[in-house]
């Protein structure tokens, strides 16, 4: 038994490392810079990519803080997670991994790690190792051959183009959009969620929603194509992408009430936009929550807590003031670190999330230190969730009318963590995904 356990642990850990250790070491100069691709030919695509998270995957502040303040010190203190010193870079700074520049210097040093997920990274990938794309298991080789899903009418004067059918599929994206922790837990599964959902079955791929086709020029040769993949990669950092993801409706069980009545309200949440779950990806960081308030004719507001459904693990889906994230004390080298507020939003609201737990069973935002997952209470593609509320109409209410307002909020990062680690405020400023209203009359 012991032997089997040992073997399976080794297998588990090694999957993360295999692609790294077997990777030949290249030099940064073996890869073209995005600037070269952009200024010689692909100006529009370069400008789009420069504004996308792909170009900032190594340099943007929260990534820098999480790698240098938490993951790297943790990797050096705990053998179990040592592999992430290199591993984080497999997706966030692939050139650094491929050239053995580990750990890369911080973004301020201006090395080529800063290029993040560059043109060369994606256009030199010929496929992936094994059956499932995950943990940067790409097969990549620098050189004159660049891959695309098709060959245009005009060839390239500076490189060869070879057709690689995988580039028009979600599997290509899964190489970096699925991640297993050193404990063998799926801590990122955007591609797997998509694959199991309705869109993959309908042949709608990641590219169709994140790289929409439009009439434009794709290179300097001036030929206008009707259907060029726009490299905009809009995602969670683009409020315009997130807004309206969920359609909200709220309806009460009566349209007229007397003071003292108990009114039941129902909120429906229909996921009309994502091809995977919402939230997806860095689920350990993201907060999506529903708030319902009643507002009387004088503008007085009453917050209405969600009714409990009683499923196992539900406590993680209802906002509280309890502390969590104690394992941040390991990299911070503070054994007395008490943790931070788990949710840092008004109490009693429904949160759509999946909690990640460290080996001690405490909720964590350190996805590399995740050894188990809790209840998955996110909203699947085209899924509808229903939430119930009860509002006791105040006995002394002076108003003839009550308005109910349901709001679904989105936040990239739990604000207590953001504040503590001095992440720029825009990374955890909440914004509205959607709102819905209902009205009732008060009669005596």
Residue 66 touching ligand HEC (CB under 6 A): yes
Residue 28's region, left for phi above 0, alpha for psi from -120 to 50, else beta, is alpha
Closest distance between ligand HEC and the C-beta of residue 93, in Å? 8
Contacts of 227 (CB under 8 A, 6+ apart): 213, 214, 215
Name which of 53 and 293 has its Cβ closer to ligand HEC. Answer: 53
Residue 43 touching ligand HEC (CB under 6 A): no
- Of 59-67, 339-347, 371-379, 396-404: span binding ligand HEC (CB under 6 A): 59-67
Q: What whole-number distance in Å separates Cα of residue 285 and Cα of residue 410?
A: 11
Site string for ligand HEC, 370-409 (x = CB under 6 A): ----------------------------------------
Among 172, 325, 356, 409, binds ligand HEC (CB under 6 A): 172
Residues 326-355 that bind ligand HEC (CB under 6 A): none
- Residue 78's alpha-carbon distances to 74, 100, 187, in angstroms, are 6, 21, 19
Among 15, 23, 135, 349, binds ligand HEC (CB under 6 A): 135
Residues 137-156 that bind ligand HEC (CB under 6 A): 148-150, 152
Among 242, 257, 345, 393, binds ligand HEC (CB under 6 A): 242
Residue 45 touching ligand HEC (CB under 6 A): yes
- Among 444, 402, 432, smallest CA distance to 302 is for 402
- Of 169-177, 306-314, 339-347, 400-408: span binding ligand HEC (CB under 6 A): 169-177
Residue 96 touching ligand HEC (CB under 6 A): no
Residue 204 touching ligand HEC (CB under 6 A): yes
Residue 90 touching ligand HEC (CB under 6 A): yes
Residues 418-437 that bind ligand HEC (CB under 6 A): none
Structure tokens of 442?
Answer: 């008060």
Residue 209 touching ligand HEC (CB under 6 A): yes
> Looking up tokens 């820098």, which residue turns up?
64
Among 104, 182, 281, 374, binds ligand HEC (CB under 6 A): 281
Residue 235 touching ligand HEC (CB under 6 A): yes
Residue 119 touching ligand HEC (CB under 6 A): yes
Residue 442 touching ligand HEC (CB under 6 A): no
Closest distance between ligand HEC and the C-beta of residue 237, in Å? 4
Residue 199 touching ligand HEC (CB under 6 A): yes
Residue 92 touching ligand HEC (CB under 6 A): yes
Contacts of 230 (CB under 8 A, 6+ apart): 45, 48, 211, 212, 213, 214, 216
Name which of 190 and 349 has its Cβ closer to ligand HEC. Answer: 190
Residue 34 touching ligand HEC (CB under 6 A): yes
- Among 292, 342, 282, 297, smallest CA distance to 317 is for 342
- Among 444, 97, 160, 411, smallest CA distance to 284 is for 411
Closest distance between ligand HEC and the C-beta of residue 251, in Å? 25
Cβ–Cβ contacts within 10 Å for residue 400, how many? 11
The end-to-end CA distance of the chain, in Å, is 72
> Residue 36, class by beta-carbon neighbours within 10 Å (0-12 exposed, 13-18 middle, 19+ buried)?
middle
**Pairs from 239-243 (Cβ < 8 Å, separation ≥ 24):** 239/431, 242/410, 242/431, 242/433, 243/431, 243/432, 243/433, 243/434
Q: Rg for the chain (alpha carbons), in Å?
A: 24
Residue 216 touching ligand HEC (CB under 6 A): no
Among 273, 362, 405, 419, binds ligand HEC (CB under 6 A): 273
The count of chain residues that interact with ligand HEC, using the rule CB under 6 A, is 82
Structure tokens of 231?
Answer: 């490299």
């Amino acid at each position: 038994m012991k032997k089997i356990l040992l073997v399976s642990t080794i297998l588990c850990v090694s999957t993360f490392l295999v692609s790294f250790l077997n990777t030949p070491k290249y030099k940064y100069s073996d890869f073209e810079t995005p600037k070269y691709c952009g200024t010689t030919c692909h100006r529009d695509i370069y400008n789009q990519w420069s504004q996308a998270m792909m170009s900032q995957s190594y340099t943007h502040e929260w990534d820098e803080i999480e790698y240098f303040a938490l993951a790297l010190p943790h990797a050096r203190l705990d053998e179990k997670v040592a592999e992430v010193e290199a591993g984080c870079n497999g997706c966030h700074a692939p050139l650094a991994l491929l050239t053995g520049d580990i750990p890369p210097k911080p973004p301020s040093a201006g090395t080529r790690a800063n290029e993040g997920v560059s043109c060369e990274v994606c256009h030199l990938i010929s496929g992936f190792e094994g059956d499932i794309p995950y943990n940067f298991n790409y097969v990549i080789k620098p050189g004159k051959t660049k891959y695309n899903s098709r060959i245009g009418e005009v060839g390239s004067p500076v490189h060869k183009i070879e057709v690689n059918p995988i580039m028009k599929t979600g599997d290509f994206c899964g190489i970096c959009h699925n991640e297993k922790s050193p404990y063998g837990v799926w801590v990122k599964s955007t591609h797997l969620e998509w694959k199991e959902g309705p869109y993959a079955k309908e042949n709608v791929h990641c590219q169709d929603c994140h790289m929409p086709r439009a009439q434009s020029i794709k290179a300097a040769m001036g030929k206008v194509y009707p259907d060029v993949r726009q490299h905009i990669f809009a995602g969670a950092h683009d409020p315009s992408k997130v807004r309206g993801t969920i359609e909200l409706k709220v309806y009460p069980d009566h349209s007229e009430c007397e003071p003292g009545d108990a009114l039941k309200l129902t909120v429906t949440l229909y996921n009309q936009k994502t091809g995977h779950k919402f939230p997806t990806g860095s689920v350990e960081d993201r907060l999506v929550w529903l708030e319902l308030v009643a507002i009387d004719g004088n503008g007085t507001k009453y917050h209405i807590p969600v009714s409990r459904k009683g499923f196992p693990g539900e406590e993680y889906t209802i906002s509280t003031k309890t502390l969590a994230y104690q394992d941040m004390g390991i990299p911070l080298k503070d054994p007395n670190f008490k943790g931070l507020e788990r949710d840092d939003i008004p109490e009693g609201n429904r949160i759509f999330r999946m909690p990640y737990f460290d080996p001690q069973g405490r909720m964590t935002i350190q996805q590399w230190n995740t050894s188990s997952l809790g209840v998955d209470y996110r909203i699947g593609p085209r899924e509808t969730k229903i939430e119930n509320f009860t509002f006791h109409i105040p006995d002394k209410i002076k108003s003839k009318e009550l308005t109910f307002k349901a709001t679904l909020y989105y936040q990239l990062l739990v604000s207590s963590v953001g504040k503590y680690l001095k992440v720029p405020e825009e990374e955890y400023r909440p914004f509205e995904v959607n709102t819905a209203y209902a009205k009732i009359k008060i009669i005596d």
